[in-house]
Amino acid sequence: MVYFLQCKHTMRIKIGFSSDVEKRLDHVRSTSPTNIVLLGVIDGDRLLESRIHRRCEEARICGEGGREWFCYHPVVLDVLREYGVSTDTRPPKKQSVVELRKLGAYRVEPKVSDGFGPGFSAERIVQKIMGRRNDVGNTLARWR
């Protein structure tokens, strides 16, 4: 089966092959700090996956998580529509440090634009991100 996944944060689309799409989706979701959704699945083999990859070559993202990820690009959207796979046309949503922390991205560097100025201690940053004072020590241990 050829599957189409989408990262809801970057809107990037993964086109891959798996005999067990559900297991593959679970694996990709477990390794990503952002929301990954299944756009669709079509009957096909590795040869079909390769043909689709070649058609989307100009939108391929190299060096970031392998060679199966593609930009949210008109050529990719055309291929998805051709195979009857629905796409989400909303633009990507920028996520704050707080939102990324909720998604499990522990090592996000705080920025001044997120409300952190110079002189903030690590404890204060964790408190601001978590919105509460308990578990600060455990979170700091994960960061270190």
Residue 90: inside a domain, yes or no? Answer: no
Report how far residue 103's alpha carbon sits from residue 46's, in angstroms, rounded to the nearest whole number. Answer: 32
Report how far residue 52's alpha carbon sits from residue 6's, in angstroms, rounded to the nearest whole number. Answer: 16
pLDDT reading at 134 higher than 60: no
DSSP H stretches of helix in the chain: 21-30, 46-55, 74-82, 97-102, 122-130, 136-143
Same domain for 19 and 62: yes
Q: Helix, strand, or coil here: 42?
A: strand
Report how far residue 131's alpha carbon sits from residue 69's, in angstroms, rounded to the nearest whole number. Answer: 34
Q: Which domain holds residue 73?
A: 2-82
Residue 12: inside a domain, yes or no? Answer: yes
- Domain-terminating residue out of 48, 82, 116: 82
Structure-block tokens of residue 108: 């996000």
CA 135 to chain centre: 27
More confidently predicted of 10 and 104:
10
Same domain for 123 and 56: no
- With a pLDDT cut of 70, the percent of the chain lying above it is 58
pLDDT reading at 6 higher than 70: yes
**How many distinct structural domains can be found in the chain?**
2
For the stretch 92-117, pLDDT in tens is 455 555 555 555 444 444 444 455 55
Residue 106: inside a domain, yes or no? Answer: yes
- pLDDT at position 112 is 46
Same domain for 58 and 11: yes
